[in-house]
């Protein structure tokens, strides 16, 4: 007896399997969200919750801890800031390691491991709009490996938790050689016992002024492109007839196909503000607009397209509807997972 199984049922099972299995860099339906800066508080939204509060939600695949914003602080160690969750500058009861301004965020360590147990990857984002990018590549890369990954240090901000890699959100010129830093990190990754990722968050005009050379000369796994706060290439201009191709996703996709990136399999993510107050209000697009954009780009550029990114968690989950859930629900029906790897 022949049994005919409806196509919709097979697609539903495939989508469910992807969501249960967790993050897969080869899929084009991932959702990445920055957590840590509590930007929703400026819009009178509830304060961001501890990291662990978001771990059980399968609408998010990648969580970016923002930020490590000073590369070389007191004692030669970096400085972290996670707003209301772990911020020594506003709460002196937060412990810091002796002779440094490096915070000991033990609760975050437990939350990182919990999120990872749910199939998510957790990356540490380095930089931000107010970053002090004042270190040398060799020293800093070794510190990052020792403090947050499989290296050894008496100072472990997240205790024995091991992050899944680092993200470079450099929005200004840096004294540090970014390419050397990236090469160093990728060499450290090869010595580890797990898979690590190196990502970046360029502005949408291509090539990005601060991260363009990094992408063309060093292996980067994912680019979380900021299609906001950048004028003519913002999401709000998507679909307009005068949207210049030199400043939109199509130029990024063309660069991908032309081999302009050091990693030919880099995945490109479309970044959005998850709320009107998360950046320049003119850059914001409502969830229904963003989901239409995502579906079209996913369908037209399935090879280069990796998914959606948003800034930030406090807006995505504090406002209604949930921006992350809207993006994930839009992407899953068209999800494709390529063979191979980054």
Q: For 70, what's the count of Cα atoms within 13 Å in the CB-facing half-sphere?
A: 15
DSSP summary character for residue 82:
B
- What's the angle, vertex CA 157, arms to CA 151 and CA 158, rounded to 5? 85
Two structure tokens written together for 109: 């360590």
Q: Report the alpha-carbon distance of residue 184 to residue 137 in Å, rounded.
A: 8
Nearest to residue 176, comparing CAs of 104, 311, 78, 57? Answer: 78
β-partners of residue 165 are 197
Strand-pairing partners, residue 31, are: 308
- Rounded to a whole number of angstroms, the distance between the first and last alpha carbons of the chain is 43
Q: What is d(CA 272, CA 300) in angstroms, rounded to the nearest whole number?
A: 19
Q: Which residue among 171, 245, 293, 303 is the active-site one?
A: 171
Structure tokens at 6: 């409806």
Determine contact, residues 312/66, Cβ cutoff 8 Å.
Answer: yes
Determine contact, residues 33/316, Cβ cutoff 8 Å: yes
Tokens of 257: 């196909």
Mark whether 101 is an active-site residue. Answer: no
65: Cβ contacts below 8 Å, ≥ 6 apart: 35, 36, 51, 82, 108, 122, 123, 124, 125, 163
Active-site positions?
171
């Amino acid at each position: 007896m022949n049994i005919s199984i409806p196509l919709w049922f097979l697609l539903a099972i495939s989508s469910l399997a992807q969501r249960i299995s967790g993050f897969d860099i080869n899929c084009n339906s991932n959702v990445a969200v920055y957590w840590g800066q509590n930007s929703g508080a400026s819009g009178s939204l509830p304060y961001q919750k501890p990291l662990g509060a978001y771990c059980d939600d399968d609408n998010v695949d990648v969580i970016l801890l923002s930020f490590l914003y000073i590369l070389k602080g007191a004692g030669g160690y970096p400085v972290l800031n996670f707003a209301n969750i772990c911020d020594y500058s506003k709460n002196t009861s937060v412990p810091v390691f002796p002779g440094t301004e490096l915070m000991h965020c033990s609760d975050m360590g437990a939350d990182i491991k919990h999120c990872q147990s749910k199939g998510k990857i957790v990356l540490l984002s380095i930089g931000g709009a107010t970053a002090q990018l004042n270190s040398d590549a060799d020293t800093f890369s070794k510190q990052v490996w020792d403090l947050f990954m499989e290296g050894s240090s008496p100072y472990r901000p997240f205790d024995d938790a091991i992050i899944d890699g680092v993200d470079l959100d450099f929005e200004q010129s840096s004294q540090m050689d970014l390419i050397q830093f990236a090469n160093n990190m990728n060499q450290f990754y090869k010595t580890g016992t797990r898979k690590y990722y190196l990502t970046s968050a360029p502005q949408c005009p291509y090539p990005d002024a601060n991260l363009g050379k990094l992408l063309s000369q060093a292996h980067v796994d994912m680019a979380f492109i900021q299609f906001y706060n950048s004028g003519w290439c913002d999401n709000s201009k998507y679909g307009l007839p005068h949207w210049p191709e030199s400043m939109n996703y199509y130029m990024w996709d063309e660069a991908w196909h032309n081999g302009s990136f050091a990693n030919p399999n880099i995945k490109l993510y479309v970044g959005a503000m998850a709320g009107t107050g998360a950046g320049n209000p003119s850059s914001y697009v409502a969830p229904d607009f963003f989901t239409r954009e995502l579906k079209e780009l996913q369908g037209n550029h399935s090879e280069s397209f990796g998914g959606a990114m948003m800034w930030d968690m406090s807006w995505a989950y504090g406002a209604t509807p949930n921006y992350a859930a809207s993006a994930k629900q839009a992407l899953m029906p068209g999800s494709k997972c390529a063979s191979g790897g980054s």
